[in-house]
Amino acid sequence: MANDAAAAEEAQDEQSAGPSLSDIGLVGALARLLDEVLVKKQIKPRIDGMKVPLLKAYETGQSEHVVRIGDDLIGRYKVNTAQPKVVVDPDNEAALTEYAEDHGGLEVIIRRNPKWEEALLKYAEYDEDTGLIVDTRNGNVVPGLKYEKGGGPTGAVTFTWEQKDVGKKRLTRHYQAGTLDHLLQETPELMAGPRPAPAKDDAQH
């Protein structure tokens, strides 16, 4: 009895905290599916509904979320992270401009040539041992650049359907069968209009 009471209390806590990450992700995947079929403006917010909660979950170590119905894998959301790269240091641009002047990187209007800068950033590498940034084409240490570590969230979330169209077919089947109706009570915009027709080979998946 104690276990039943604890389970009931836990379920109540989850309900009071709002929709679960799984429910939000499932509704988001369904909105994407219907957007391809119906293209309704009112379902757009549901498509992006996973962005805020997943970015919040990222703060506690969760970088992706799998959308599934029972044993059927529908797709997955993944937090996009910034890649490490060398960029211009806005606090030390004067030094880079001086470097550009000595290495043919200035235009007649006395500014850095954007194409030169783009090429420089392409070949510039951060030396972990010295903390300096080097132009790998000539070995010169380049002032006025800084290294930004990657890994932090970019503020965007990516969704990928399971095995291309397989996830879509599975979700369509569950949608037509009414498996998701308990979630759609709060999202009537996803109930409107005709439900997508099943693919001929849907039964195989």
Q: What is the pLDDT of residue 203?
A: 46
Beta pairing class for 85-88 and 145-148: antiparallel
Is the pTM value of this prediction over 0.75?
no
What is the token pair recorded at 18?
């709002």
Which pLDDT value is given to residue 50? Answer: 83
Query: What tens digit of pLDDT does each residue of 109-167 get?
Result: 778 889 999 999 999 999 988 989 999 999 999 999 999 888 778 778 888 888 877 77
Q: What is the pLDDT of residues 97-119, one digit of tens each?
A: 999 989 989 887 778 889 999 99
Question: What single letter denotes the amino acid at residue 66?
Answer: V
Percent of the chain with pLDDT over 90: 24
Q: What is the pLDDT of residue 201?
A: 52
DSSP state of 205: -
In this prediction, residue 36 carries a pLDDT of 66
Mean residue pLDDT of the chain comes to 78
Q: Which residue has the tokens 């805020």?
A: 52
Higher pLDDT, 161 or 190: 161
